[in-house]
Structures are given as C-alpha cells and as structure tokens.
Amino acid sequence: MDLGLNGRVYLVAASSKGLGLGVARALATDGARVSLCSRTANEVELAAQQLATQFNTPTLATACDVTQPAEIAQWVERTLNTWGRVDGILVNAGGPPSKAFTEISDAEWQSAFELTLLSSVRMIRATLPHFTHGSAILTITSASVVEPIERLGMSTVMRAGVAGLVKTLADELAPQGIRVNNLIPGRIDTDRVAFLDQQRAQRLNISFEEARAQSLKSIPLGALGTVDEFGKAGAFLLSPAASYITGASLRVDGGMLRSI
Ligand code: NAP
C-alpha cells in the first residue's frame, strides 16, 4: 500500500531513539521528510544523519526539550524555514518516573504534568496554525490509559488527560480536515522498558531475565514489540492512507490488553 507520504513533512518529538525514532524511520522509509528532536544534540543529530543516509530523504535534527515552550517554537520554526510546510506531528516525550503514590511529591506531580500533558498541549498549539486540510496529529500514551500499571501512577493520571485531549481535538479539528489519533504502546523493546524491567527486578530481588520472562507471559504474541513494528503503525496513522481515521486509539501491544 502506498501511504502517500512522499514529500510530506513531519515533526517527530523525542526521537533520538525508542518509539519516536521508530515512527521517524517508518515515515522516512516511505519518503517523508522528518524533523527530529530530543534534548541531547549529538544523539538526535546522529539519528537524523543515519535516517538521511539510509533512506535518501532530507532530515533535520534539533536539540529541544519539549517541556520548554520556547524550544518547541524554535523547533517548529526551523522546520518551516527549511521546508516551508508541516503535515503532521508525533507528540511524544520521555516517561515520568516509576513510584508508588506515597513516594510522590507535589514537585514530581508538577513535573509529570509538564512532561506528559502540558508538553502535548504546547506541541499541538505550536504546530496547529501551520496545519492544513489533511494534516494529522498523533500522540503516544501507554497501556495505562486502559489499565493502570503498577508504580506508574503519574503516567496513568497524565496520560488519561492526553487521551481526553485527543478525543476533544478530534471533534474540534475535524471541520478543518485535521485528524487526531493516539497510539497505545504495550511493551515495546526500548531503553525505557529495559530500565523499568531492571528496576522491577531489583525491587523483587530477581534477575532481569526473570522479570522479563514474567512480563512476557502477559503478552499473547509472546514477545516485546520492536520499535519498527510500532513505527509502522505510527506512520500509517499520520499518513493520508488513514484519511478516515480520527479520534482513535490504536493498541500496539501484541494482545496484552485484555479488554474488548
Ligand atoms: P526511550 O527509549 O527512553 O526514548 C525516549 C526518547 O525521548 C529519547 O530520544 C529521549 O532523548 C527523548 N526525550 C526524553 N525526554 C525528552 C524531553 N523532555 N524533550 C525531548 N525529548 C525527550 O523511551 P520510549 O520507550 O521510546 O518511550 C517514549 C514514550 O512512550 C515515553 O513517554 C514512555 O513512557 C512511553 N511508553 C513507552 C512504552 C514502551 O513500550 N516503550 C510503553 C508505554 C509508554 P533525550 O534524552 O536526548 O531527550
């Protein structure tokens, strides 16, 4: 299937590695121009160079912390100055820390709000004036929007807000032909998931391999997802091929979530 991505321009947030890079790679594979960002300049530059070389498509890399509105504005402006258009954005950031409710301070709740919910609002607000009919917004949340995850209360609470934002905007922006969707990763093989498994292994006094084997039991397809499997779903939802899909949350979870 031709996704219709050739020549289109996408902002892909938090994309030097992990899920963001997986979506950027899938977009670039199909001929889109991708503007990557993350906080660490040399890592995002390396990722963008590798995509440009591998897929022979123009890429941009910008050091941008998505909790900082001025940095988001610079990232968007640089992309527009370079390519003159923006067709969509992947709204993404790092995840809040893993803690039990009684361990979380007000300052940590505030940081989680700024990292997960307010950054989403700000990224969408910064790009919206440049969108036209056929543009698309895609968020990444978590399986926690369906089932709470142990010790990830900050993520669960803030991502519920992002899921609400997606449905609200899908209604508000539909008259302008702008689609808004959400991806729900189950357990995709990234550094963040490895870090969470490591923390769990330490807490339970078991090996990393045991912690991982336990978590695989809850995934019907029997494996972690790859960032490329995740990225393909993202590229589809951002592409013109998904022109009749808005307000949807797509699970990329190997069957992990049990609800119908
Ligand atoms: P990851 O492998 O740790 O990658 C995180 C990426 O985000 C890196 O490129 C990082 O680069 C960038 N980043 C982090 N904070 C940022 C910020 N404030 N501004 C800009 N860039 C930032 O994580 P991941 O697994 O891809 O996860 C991405 C998101 O999906 C997270 O919110 C995570 O909680 C959520 N999620 C993932 C899974 C999964 O299965 N992997 C499941 C549920 C939810 P820098 O450090 O250089 O900024």
Predicted TM-score (pTM) of the model is 0.98
Q: Is 156 in the pocket of ligand 1 (CB under 6 A)?
A: no
| Span 5-25, pLDDT tens digits | 999 999 999 999 999 999 999
Estimate to the nearest angstrom the gap between the alpha carbon of 253 and the chain centroid.
14
Tokens linked to 129 = 């004036």
- Structural domains of the chain sorted by starting position, each given as residue range(s) with its CATH number in brackets: 9-187+228-248 (3.40.50.720), 190-224 (no CATH)
Q: How far is the CA of 175 from the centre of ligand 1 (A)?
A: 32
Is the four-CA dihedral 218, 18, 198, 151 of positive or negative sign?
Answer: negative
Looking from the CA of residue 119, the nearest atom of ligand 1 is: 18
Q: Is 190 in the pocket of ligand 1 (CB under 6 A)?
A: yes
pLDDT of residue 163: 98
Quote the radius of gyration of the chain (alpha carbons, Å): 18
d(CA 167, CA 180): 8
Is the separation of the CB atoms in 149 and 97 below 8 Å? no
Q: Which strand ranges, in their side-by-side order, compose the sheet holding 136-140? A: 59-63, 33-38, 9-12, 88-91, 136-140, 179-185, 249-252
Mutation to probe ligand 1, out of 19, 75, 150, 158 (largest number of atoms < 8 A from CB): 19
Q: How far is the CA of 230 from the centre of ligand 1 (A)?
A: 13
* Phi and psi angles of residue 88, each rounded to the nearest 5 degrees, phi first: 180, 170
pLDDT of residue 115: 98
Residue 179: C-alpha distances to residues 28, 108, 139 (Å): 20, 32, 11
Q: How far is the CA of 193 from the centre of ligand 1 (A)?
A: 10
- 8 closest CA partner among 28, 36, 38, 22: 28
Residue stretches of the chain with pLDDT short of 70: none
Estimate to the nearest angstrom the gap between the alpha carbon of 17 and the chain centroid.
11
- 257 closest CA partner among 147, 151, 141: 147
pLDDT of residue 97: 96
Nearest alpha carbon, ligand 1 atom 24 = 18
Nearest alpha carbon, ligand 1 atom 15 = 94
d(CA 167, CA 164): 5
